[in-house]
Amino acid sequence: MAGHGTLALAIAIAFSATGCPGGPGANEPNPGGSDKRLAICKDFLAKNDLEAAESECTKAIELNANNDEAYVVRGLVSFVRATADKKSLEVDGCLTGLDAEATDKDLQTHLAKADQDFERAVKITPDYGDPWSHRGVIANLLEDYPAAQTYLTKALENPMRLANPALTRSHLGWSLFNQQNYVDAAKELRTALQFQPKMCVATYRLGRVYFARQEWEKAAEQFQTASDDPSCGSQEASYYLMKTRMQQGLVAEAKEARDACTKLSAHSCIATKCRADGGSL
């Protein structure tokens, strides 16, 4: 699975929805205390106590099978678990062999569980934008880009309960990019940046569009912006900045980008690629 975002981004995606207003299920009379259980679930999720969060969300669902938000938050628990698997696989040690196979199996399992809960939420409330967006994120991670495009478009068509339309648009741009629809991808990413000018993920992904189109100056500008921003912490941006500077024949700048890349997480898969591709500098 191609890496295209940081763990911090994935966690931000997850927690962006925990404060959403309740949907029809959550607002129904609930003598069993489903809403109370959901609130406890959110609190545990915010504390990263995933086992307790999942248990409380499951209780909320048992007390009210139409509590659409409980399905969403339980899905986010599985999604956060998946991001931890992805971090172990690609960032902490760039796992290979049997270790990689085992971790990837866990990753796929958690993504499937998350998607199942998001699907249940939209069956209850078809115009609930957040679970559509989350399904799009998962489809991107699974490299099913046409499905991601469908889900993310659906999310943007239902913005009333969509926590972050600009981020959703950035994910849509990524699905289009991976289908080599560079014109529409750039359009979506530029629109996302109009709403959130300092969004790291949209900046990096727009750079990838320009890189694919061999527009080196524009690509370098986006990658440099993301690489220089400490809040981004994007090794991917530094890696592609290095590759862009090499295309431009700017050896000193390429070395600087390589060093920035390897400094962030020395044992990650991206750091390995930086050292391999920048070894001749």
What is the arithmetic mean of pLDDT over 77-91? 93
Reported as a single tens digit per residue, the pLDDT across 206-258 is 999 999 999 999 999 999 999 999 888 899 999 999 999 999 999 999 999 99
pTM of the model: 0.89
The yes-or-no verdict on residue 152 having pLDDT over 50 is yes
Q: Among the listed ranges 6-15, 38-47, 95-104, 105-114, which one has the minimum average pLDDT value?
A: 6-15
pLDDT surpassing 80 at residue 55: yes
All structural domains of the chain with their residue ranges: 1-163, 182-281
For the chain, the average pLDDT equals: 90
What fold characterizes domain 1-163? Answer: 1.25.40
User: Looking at the chain, which runs of residues are DSSP E strands?
Assistant: none
Hunting for tokens 């763990």 — which residue is that?
7
CATH topology of domain 182-281: 1.25.40
Average pLDDT over residues 180-195: 98
Mean pLDDT of 115-138: 97
* pLDDT band at residue 12 under the 50/70/90 scheme: low
Q: Is-same-fold flag (1-163; 182-281)?
A: yes
pLDDT in tens, 162-177: 999 999 999 999 999 9
Residue 50 to residues 30, 45, 57, 143, 209, Cα–Cα distance (Å): 25, 6, 10, 26, 36
Angle at 137 between CA 133 and CA 140, to 5 degrees: 135
Whole-number Å distance between alpha carbons of 150 and 137: 11
The proportion of the chain whose per-residue pLDDT surpasses 70, expressed as a percent, equals 89
